Amino acid sequence: MKKYLLQYRPFLLFITTFFIIYIVAAVIYKLYLDSFDEKSIDGITNIVGHQVFKIMNFFNCDIRILKSESNPYLEVWYNQKYVIRIVEGCNAVSVIVLFGSFVIAFSGKFKTTLIFILFGILFIHILNISRIALLTVLMFHFPEKEHLLHGVFFPLVIYGFIFILWIVWVNKFSKYAR
């Protein structure tokens, strides 16, 4: 048994570190969400909604983003039509937690790790805002393609880019990059 623990030590350290960081970050985020009542929208989701409005407004889209009167989400109206809603899960925090946990588990130098995580968070956030804006326009024109767009294409894009960031991290910056 000791032989296997020594042989697989790097993998076991990675898995242990990853899950500890992921669980701690997820619990902190859950505590943050619990500070809002069930009819409220958390601050991060509000920021995402505001930024989606700003980017679409920049491109002269007829866009309105309103708080639902009875539910904890933002209604996105495009060309006078209710198209999608932005819920807490649309703010990409869970994806950012996953990304950061992986990078920390494969950490390199502290400064490099911190800079890469901050760059990654910014990249994921911008990608997410763009995703919601594009999804709004596409759902307006192709509402019958909701499952393909929301359930397949955009998750593939987000997770695909995160996977690419992980590969870059492991091969260029982590302590295992050689």
**Domain ranges (residues) in the chain:** 2-173
pLDDT of residue 177: 64
Q: Is 59 helix (H, G, I), strand (E, B) or coil?
A: coil
Q: pLDDT in tens for each of the 178 residues of the chain?
A: 788 777 888 888 899 999 999 999 999 999 999 999 888 999 999 999 999 999 999 999 999 999 999 899 999 999 999 999 999 999 999 999 999 999 999 888 899 999 999 999 999 999 999 999 999 999 999 999 999 999 999 999 999 999 999 999 999 988 776 6
Place of tokens 């995402």: 48
The Cα–Cα gap between 53 and 77 comes to 10
Alpha helix stretches (DSSP H) within the chain = 2-7, 9-34, 43-58, 93-105, 110-141, 146, 154-168
The Cα–Cα gap between 120 and 145 comes to 29
Global confidence as pTM: 0.91
Which candidate, 104, 131, 110, places its Cα nearest to that of 24? 104
- Whether 140 and 133 have beta carbons less than 8 Å apart is answered as no
